[in-house]
Amino acid sequence: MIVHTVADLRRARRALPGRVALVPTMGALHAGHRALVRAAKEAADHVVVSVFVNPLQFGEQADLDRYPRTLEADAAICAEEGAELVFAPSVDDVYPLPLEVSVRTGRMGEIVEGAARPGHFDGMATVVAKLFGMVRPDLAFFGQKDAQQLAIVRRLVADLNLDLEIVAVPTVREADGFALSSRNRFLSAAERVTGLALSRALFAGRDAVAGGPGSVLAAAEPVLAAAAKEDPPLLLDYLVLADPATFTPVASGHRGPAVLAVAGRVGATRLIDNLPLEF
């Protein structure tokens, strides 16, 4: 069932007994989203998938306008994977009044990906908080591919004492390692070849983990440097080895979990990827 208004959502939500899981998305669903819905279905009695392209997460109007809207196909995927309810609201339903009160993500939202996309994480956290209030889930499922988003959502739940569990689902990749993304459809064949350098750099870093953080970065950097000379080139935004809970860079003698994260632009498409590591 698809509902479009908050009132209809709340009526449908009241009819779902037991544990309810939320999978927040911006639509254009792919196999990575299928994995999220499957994981949610295994953990809960009912699954709600939200499909909403959140304008607060976009720095440029052109990028917002370009984002694919494929609700009919998205709803079919949700039905195939066993989600009972798709919530596909309009902007006016989510933001019925000019926004006065919103979520600020502070330092965590200003570093790494946040430095490249000012205001993005504030917009993300604001809509996620709204969805949590509207759906009232017991669990919410997020992809590991957006590792900094995942860290900020976990902190949102902790800082605001929200009564739900955040579950991370591993990144889904194509056979050659390319991380699935709704934006991949914009890549030409040549751009995709260049973009593959992101995952190749991450895997090179992972293979050097025994040497410590410095070795991981040293192994990943040459892969990205070579991609910068390709046609078309990779324009690197960042390569960072960070604490997965705070996204601050780890020290050279770090022991414990870390995340190797990378982002760059190929043509008009911006790509991100990461790998969790253990030292």
**Residue 98: exposed, middle, or buried by beta-carbon count in 10 A (0-12, 13-18, 19+)?**
exposed
Q: How many residues does the chain have?
A: 279
**Residue 212: exposed, middle, or buried by beta-carbon count in 10 A (0-12, 13-18, 19+)?**
middle
146 is in an annotated binding site: yes
The tokens of 37 are what? 């819905």
173 DSSP β-pair partners:
179
- What are the residues whose beta carbons fall under 8 Å from the beta carbon of 118, sequence distance 6 or more? 59, 110
143 is in an annotated binding site: yes
CA dist 141 and 50 (Å) reads 11
57 is in an annotated binding site: yes
CA dist 247 and 111 (Å) reads 8
Q: Which of 4, 33, 120, 254 is catalytic?
A: 33
Tell me how far the alpha carbon of residue 81 is from its chain's centroid: 20
32 is in an annotated binding site: yes
29 is in an annotated binding site: yes
- What are the residues whose beta carbons fall under 8 Å from the beta carbon of 233, sequence distance 6 or more? 194, 227, 266
Helix, strand, or coil here: 63? Answer: helix
- 120 is an active site residue: no
Alpha-carbon distance values, 117 to 9, 49, 112, 120 (Å) = 31, 26, 9, 6
Strand pairing class (2-3; 85-87):
parallel
144 is in an annotated binding site: yes
182 is in an annotated binding site: yes
Radius of gyration of the chain (CA): 19
Residues labelled catalytic: 33
Binding residues for beta-alanine: 57
Binding residues: 26-33, 57, 143-146, 149, 172, 180-183
